[in-house]
Amino acid sequence: MAKYSPELKVQIASDYLYGRESYNGLTNNYNIAASIIRTWVKAAELNGLENLKVKRTKRKYSVDFRMDVVSYYLKSDEGRNLVAAKFNISPSQVYSWTKKFQQDGPEALLPVRPAKVPKKTEKAVKAKHNKQKEILTDKQKYEAKLLEKDARIKKLELELIIAKKVAARYPRYPSTKDTDSL
């Protein structure tokens, strides 16, 4: 069961959107973290107030959609909540797909994942899963490769920035050349 009712989410988001209350006021009135309220408001702005209602049906997403979400998340500096609101999915779904992509590559985003299967059919399921891996188009494989490289570049850029800041904050000890002249 959801922690907050859909009616409450709609009420809070509409109070903010129609200028009846501020984030701080809503936080104090309902005792809900401002970050959660911001997520609801952003989702309502992007997809309407109806988006805040709980969806009871299980939705299936194409590989292209999953790749689009992961690509957008990795390339943008937006957080999971904003990306989720933009694509009308849950933030945990963004996290899950991104983690799978980073660990196992684009094949991990394929929709079919074998569940626990009796040992007799385990080989058949593995063969089917291996066949599913081959279904990725060349375009999807290329996009996945680009995403992996973009993510690697972003990670290396962050490491470089951190290294520069550490070096500026903690200068190294004088080298032997500097001490020889003393």
CA separation for the pair 44, 62 (Å, rounded): 24
Average the pLDDT over 61-87 and give the result: 86
Same domain, 95 and 32: no
Domain total of the chain: 2
pLDDT band at 1 (very low <50, low <70, confident <90, very high): very low
Instruction: Please report which helix (H) or strand (E) contains residue 96, including its range.
Output: helix 91-104
Domain with 29, as residue range(s), is: 6-52
Average pLDDT over residues 151-165: 81
Residue 167 has pLDDT above 80, yes or no: no
pLDDT band at 95 (very low <50, low <70, confident <90, very high): very high
Let me know whether 75 and 127 are in one domain. Answer: yes
Helix H, strand E, coil C: the string for 38-86 is HHHHHHHHHHCHHHHCCCCCCCCCCHHHHHHHHHHHHHCCCCHHHHHHH
Q: Are residues 68 and 45 in the same domain?
A: no
Task: Please indicate, yes or no, whether residues 81 and 141 belong to a single structural domain of this protein.
Answer: yes
The whole-angstrom separation of Cα 182 and Cα 166 is 27
| Pair (14, 42) in one structural domain | yes
- Residue 112: both structure tokens together: 């079919």
* Phi-psi label, residue 88: left if phi above 0, alpha if psi -120 to 50, beta otherwise: left
Are 137 and 156 within one domain? yes
Residues 133 and 110 in one domain: yes
**Whether the Cβ atoms of residue 85 and residue 73 lie closer than 8 Å to each other:** no
Closest CA to 84 of 5, 92, 76: 92
- Would 69 be classed as within a structural domain? yes
Model confidence over 124-144: pLDDT tens digits? 656 665 555 556 777 777 888
Decide if 35 contacts 108 (C-beta within 8 A).
Answer: no
Residue 156 lies in a domain: yes
What is the rounded average pLDDT of the residues 17-29? 87
**Distance (Å, whole) CA 43 – CA 86:** 7
Helix (H) / strand (E) containing 36: helix 34-47
Domain co-membership, 19 together with 101:
no
Residue 114: is its pLDDT beyond 60?
no
Both 25 and 109 in a single domain? no
User: Do 107 and 162 belong to one domain?
Assistant: yes
Whether 182 is covered by a domain: the verdict is no
Spell 44-58 as b/e; 16+ CB within 10 A means b: beeeebebbeeeeee
Q: In this structure, what token pair is assigned to residue 126?
A: 């593995």
